[in-house]
Chain A
Amino acid sequence: MSDDRTPLRLFWAEFRENKIGLVALVVVVVTILLALFASIISPQDPYDLAKLSLMDSRRPPGFIGSSGYTHLLGTDPQGRDLLSAIFYGLRISIQIGLAAGFVSLTIGTALGITAAYVGGRIEALIMRLIDLQLSFPAILLALVIVALLGQGKVQLISALVAAQYAYFARTAYGAAKAERGKDYIEAALATPLSGRLVVMRHLLPNCMPPLIVVATVQIANSISLEATLSFLGLGLPVTEPSLGMLIANGFPYMMSGRYWISVYPGISLIILIVAINVVGDQVRDQFNPRLRK
């Protein structure tokens, strides 16, 4: 049954069969596009404080603002068009989620593979640290770091990374340890190739599948965590509203019936997170050999 389709093609072919996963993937892609082109498609630039008018604030969806266009989703307490704010907010969420995910992936994988490869006391030390870190709830860690470092994108990403790299480390460690014992690694090590080369070209690629699964989940988690921090007022500064902050802004108005200020940003956040999770689930199922047939 020889196929000259690459593993990637086979993966994609199987992925396509699952309708729900496909829909989720489409949602994710659309959201990313919306975020990327936020500045182009937004009717209003929510960062440009000069253009905002408090007269427009807290208006319901469909209101025609002072700048002349219809606020499809209403406005927030600062007078920002909610639709635009949501687009920009999505952009921030995705940016931060991806950045945090990527950095955590790199650091965590490096640590995990090093621990598995080098062995001995370094391995024990690193894994002890990782275990300790894993038992500590992510949100507290992030809270503390943000509290200490202050607000801002870099600080936020650092906090998220610190909270999450341990998951990557543990997964990478497990995978590397399993692969390390396998024959092909032993064979490669017996050649004159440098150890580092063996790791990069042989060990690493085979550890990728579980790491990819963890990455998708963690990206969703990063987005969720960032939103939570922003909601609590510990995220980005007020001038760059992320979805969490938009929701927080609208919170006091919920009682008086002006629900849209919180609800719409919330819905977009949820859609994004759930879509990523579903895609991640599908990827995980496909990589799991035990579930196959």
Chain B
Amino acid sequence: MTEPVLSVKNLTTHFFTRAGVVKAVDGVSFDLAKGEIMGLVGESGSGKTVTGFSMLGLVDAPGRIVKGSVRLNGTELTTLSDNELRSRRGREISMIFQDPISTLNPMLTIGQQMKLAIDAHESVSVRASATRAADLLTKVGISSAKARLRAYPHEFSGGMRQRVAIAIALLHRPAVIVADEPTTALDVSIQAQILFQMRDLARETGTAMIWISHDLAVVSSLASRLAVMYAGRIVEEGRTATLLRDPRHPYTAGLIASLPAAGKPGTPLNQIPGTTPSLLSLPPGCPFAPRCGRFTLRCEAEPKMTLQDSRGWRCFHPVGRLADAPV
């Protein structure tokens, strides 16, 4: 098995606020192979975005990475100096955000913004960088790229802006791109376009991707592997097809069941009862316990990850073929 391009072990990021310590990410581990697309799924507040930030070292105060390791291409990121980390951002690992209107500076042309991104890591002539930028824009599906370089962000539609952001992220052919809900702010029709475009691009450039989303349906069409997050922890992970067909963790099962496609027409949609817990005051034991139908007194202890054939779950009473077998 080849060395994974990204290896996260026991990543823990806490926010030290006046109201208390928020354990946004609490011991997250996963591996990402070269060119693999992994989906990181969870409701808002599950810690998925902070995980993404943590990997790039972009966690704002009062948060910081408390422990754990993030190895990119063999280099440990958490111990790097600011400058060393910065030189890897954009070049080896990159990130795109949810709302492209706030990602791009409205007062600079996209050509200027792309040039800034290029110049951050390489010394390229103005002509060469313009050509490179235009090529990339064409690749993400923006026509008349060379002319569009002189346009400002507000002259583009939402979908186009996101493509520009993707192009910027791809400028240096990074090994990993972290995409934080990149299609959530877009029209449904555009979503599909961008989704498949990104998949093809990733395949073509060999870039691995972590696709962060709350929308299981969106991610499952794209990712070959899924990791489900809840209250700062990964509660289940494995191959997408397997997970969807045969989930182990009750939360995953609940998510799948709540998809509109899963419900019968005419009946109310299935919902997971309750709401996500506040990360300030998590009860001890399994964080999903208050909402779980399979809760027993056993769940007051902290469940560990059970690993089996490249999949894992964190539950004392998993769903599925092992349903009634004690763990």
Footprint of B on A, CB under 8 Å?
293
Contacts and interface: CB of A to CB of B under 8 A. Distances in A.
Q: Which DSSP category, helix, strand, loop or mixed, fits chain B's interface?
A: loop
Contacts of A293: 17-19
A293 B17 CA distance: 8
A293 B19 CA distance: 7
3 contacts: A293-B17, A293-B18, A293-B19
Interface size class of B (residues with CB under 8 A): under 10
Interface string B15-48: 0011100000000000000000000000000000
A3 to B, nearest CB: 18
B104 to A, nearest CB: 26
Nearest to A292: B18
A270 to B, nearest CB: 34
A293 B280 CA distance: 13
A17 to B, nearest CB: 13
Nearest to B19: A293
Contacts of B19: 293
B21 to A, nearest CB: 14
Contacts of B18: 293
A259 B191 CA distance: 75
A140 to B, nearest CB: 35
B311 to A, nearest CB: 41
A275 to B, nearest CB: 28
Interface in B123-162: none
Instruction: Kindly list the 3 A-B residue pairs having the minimum CB-CB distance in the complex, ordered from nearest.
Output: A293-B19, A293-B18, A293-B17
B22 to A, nearest CB: 12
Contacts of B17: 293
Nearest to B17: A293
A155 B156 CA distance: 58
A285 to B, nearest CB: 14
